[in-house]
Amino acid sequence: MSRRSSELLHHLVRAVILTGFAGLMFNLMVSGDMLLYIAPHLMIYAQLATAFLVIATGFQYYIAVASMKRKVVVCNCDHEHGHNHSHDSDHNDSSRSSWRSSAVYVVFIVPLLFGAFLPNDALAGSLAQKKGMNLGRAAMVGKPSSADFVEIDGDEDPALKEQFKTNVYNKDYAKLGMLLYKQDLIEMKDDWFIEKLQALNTFVNNFQGKQIRISGFVYREEGLTGTQFIIGRMAMTHCIADISPYGIIAESLDAEQYANDTWITVTGTIGQAIYHEQTVIKLNIESIEPASPAKIPYVYPDWNFAAKL
Amino acid sequence: MSNIAVNKKQQKSYANLAAIVCLAFIAAMYFLSNHAPATILNNPKLQIFKTIFLSIIMETMPFLWIGVFISALLHVFVSDQAMKKMIPKNPVLGILTASVLGIVFPLCECGMVPAIRRLINKGMPLYVATTFILVGPILNPIVFWSTFTAFRGRPEIAYGRMGLAFAVALAVGLIIYRFVHTNQLRVQVHAHGHSAVNQHDHEHHSHENKLVAVMGHAISEFFDMGKFIVFGAFLVGMLQTFVSQDNLVSLGQGQGSANALMMGLGFILSLCSTSDAFVAQSFVTTFSTGSLIAFMVFGPMMNLKGLLMMSAVFKTRFVLLLSALVVVLVYAGTLLLQYFFLK
């Protein structure tokens, strides 16, 4: 194979791969399936990447065409080795090394094949097994003395403020907790799912007996009794790689009839349970309805929820 | 000359390894699918793998492009002389500047590595570049804010993370300044387009094709770096699909072993430094504060994806040295932190 035609081939292969990536990303953007891979606040970057890819693809075709006419459009060198690079060695193994460099392109074709031939599906609760379920966290470690506790500002009922006294750093959860406390039915919707869960678990005692409704997938793990399962949601910060499951323990006598990964909506009252040596809220089930997951079944942490309260 | 040949071989062997692993995987898929085509495509493990694999690539793609564009622009528009003038002569000053550079340019490592390679080529000292690679992904406002928010009740975690990252990068920078003096760049040899015929094109970029030059370099570097990201995403996807985080977690709960374990987890997960705080938060009940900081400092500095990218830039021996330094310093650092500050 002559040097010129091998170079043309090499440029064309690159052009085709870039076309593939541009097509894959464009397709995911248009169909909205991109949200199955990355969080909404990264969509702007994904759009940027798609634009880069489309532009780069155009240039790569131009470079390929131009390389037919002229010898070279872009030198692919760094200055570093440009000077001590001898030509005869390059000639000797040029055909072999061009084979080798084309083997690299296989690496790029793998994700394109995956993208083209496998469906874009949301990950179900089965992944939670690998990740470990979160039922809220220890908001206060080391149990600070009550002197460290502060009441939050604002013109709320003083009795309520006394009830939601906490340390300085949990004030935002106290505020959210008071908001939830005043609701007749606490609905765990997609917005602030994690934040609400944290608020409930920070003030477990205050919420005993309150009505709550939650939708999610059924998940089971060791340590739960036969009448218990966890209703979970997957939380994504950036992309699937950092996904973590969050959930609430739910209890019902006919719990066993609900298979893992089925989506249900549960209404009930809040109780408490011990999970990994920590007191967490528990849902005593009153009614269960089948539910279907949203097309994008993920919830996202809101870094700035306190400012929106 | 012999030196170049050796490097060339190393570079190729990495690429070949990556290609072979991928080919083997495809072959395995092909043969398995001969038996039952429908079951293999619907296999939940395959679906999980594919989603993680593509997700990491999609997430990285924009930052990789930003990195290669910066690199290409530097290559075409900034001369080596101009670059040299911008770098402080004093090594300590240089290292300190590099440490705080991340505050001004909050780039993650996917965008940083290509830009750094260009900067070293243009005369940035190795110790400055190394410091920046290590600390840049951590010591920046976005990461501080996300860590602070994730550990709302425990601000000492955010401060500990920033402080330890700074200290480790500073120490590594100084050690490299003192002991490493030779060029550690893996010399890039491109198998094509380099012969006596085009030697003259090489010296300059004429005015009208500067745009093409920038795009050409950016694309070229996209492929150069991209193969490591794709391969890294492949490995991370495999590990996350087949290795259970829960089992790993149960391995180490002791004082020292937990720190090492969380460092390993950070290495495998290869998360972005802006999102790892929320993952660390999910371990707060099972792991000590020190080990969480180990996770959040070691992960962004050394991880599977980043290590592969670094091996595209630096010689293997240097990458090994750097990894060893970071492992030791982060581990020791978290133990000290635990002992003195996180009672």
ipTM value for the complex: 0.84
Restricting to B residues 23-52, those with a Cβ less than 8 Å away from any Cβ of A are 23, 25-26, 41, 44, 46-48, 50-52
Q: Return the CATH architecture of domain A125-308.
A: Beta Barrel (2.40)
Orientation angle between helical segments B44-77 and B210-242, nearest 10 degrees: 150
Q: Would the pLDDT of B141 be above 70?
A: yes
- Inter-chain residue contact A107 with B231, CB threshold 8 Å: yes
Closest partner residue to A75 (CB to CB) among B47, B202, B279 is B202
| pLDDT at residue A269, rounded to an integer | 92
Domain that holds residue B141: 43-192+208-340
The sign of the torsion formed by the CA atoms of B20, B24, B30, B31 equals positive
- Inter-chain residue contact B52 with A241, CB threshold 8 Å: yes
Tell which of B29, B59, B144, B267 to mutate to test the A interface (max A CBs under 10 Å). Answer: B59
CATH 2.40.50.140 segments of chain A: 125-308
| pLDDT at residue A136, rounded to an integer | 67
Residue B122 lies inside a defined structural domain of this protein = yes
Considering only CA atoms, which of A56, A49, A87 is closest in space to residue B217? A56
| pLDDT at residue A80, rounded to an integer | 35
Closest chain B CA to residue A115: B54
| pLDDT at residue B12, rounded to an integer | 54
Closest partner residue to A81 (CB to CB) among B25, B189, B193 is B189
pLDDT, tens digit, for every residue of A152-195?
A: 666 667 777 778 877 777 778 888 888 888 888 999 988 899 88
Residue B54 C-beta-side C-alpha neighbours within 13 Å: 30
Residue B124 lies inside a defined structural domain of this protein = yes
Q: Per-residue b/e over B190-211, b at no fewer than 16 CB within 10 Å?
A: bbbbbbeebeebbeebeeebee
Residue B9 lies inside a defined structural domain of this protein = no
Q: How many domains does chain B have?
A: 1
- Inter-chain residue contact A132 with B187, CB threshold 8 Å: no
Q: Percent of chain B, pLDDT > 90? A: 12
Tell which of B8, B223, B305 to mutate to test the A interface (max A CBs under 10 Å). Answer: B223
- Inter-chain residue contact B153 with A37, CB threshold 8 Å: no
Q: Would the pLDDT of B38 be above 60?
A: no
Q: Percent of chain A, pLDDT > 70? A: 79
Strand partners, A231: A218, A248
* The residue count for chain A: 309
Q: Would the pLDDT of B138 be above 80?
A: yes
Q: Would the pLDDT of A71 be above 60?
A: no
The arithmetic mean of pLDDT across residues B67-76, rounded, is 86
Task: Please give the full DSSP string across B219-285, using - where no structure is assigned.
Answer: HHHHHHHHHHHHHHHHHHHHHHHHS-HHHHHHH--SHHHHHHHHHHHHHHH---TTTHHHHHHTTTT
- Inter-chain residue contact B188 with A118, CB threshold 8 Å: no
pLDDT, tens digit, for every residue of B290-342?
A: 888 999 999 989 988 888 888 888 888 899 999 999 999 999 999 888 888 76
Q: Would the pLDDT of B155 be above 70?
A: yes
**How does the average pLDDT of chain B come out, rounded?**
78
Provide the shortest C-alpha distance from residue B331 to chain A (in Å).
23
pLDDT, tens digit, for every residue of B4-32?
A: 444 444 555 565 666 677 667 666 665 55
Residue B23 lies inside a defined structural domain of this protein = no
- Inter-chain residue contact B219 with A56, CB threshold 8 Å: yes
pTM score, two decimals? 0.81
The residue behind tokens 């990964």 is A261
pLDDT, tens digit, for every residue of A28-47?
A: 999 999 999 999 988 998 99
Residue B15 lies inside a defined structural domain of this protein = no
B195 at A interface, C-beta within 8 A: yes
| pLDDT at residue A83, rounded to an integer | 36
| pLDDT at residue B18, rounded to an integer | 65
pLDDT, tens digit, for every residue of A118-143?
A: 888 887 666 766 677 777 664 444 44
Residue B17 lies inside a defined structural domain of this protein = no
Residue B94 lies inside a defined structural domain of this protein = yes
The arithmetic mean of pLDDT across residues A278-298, rounded, is 88
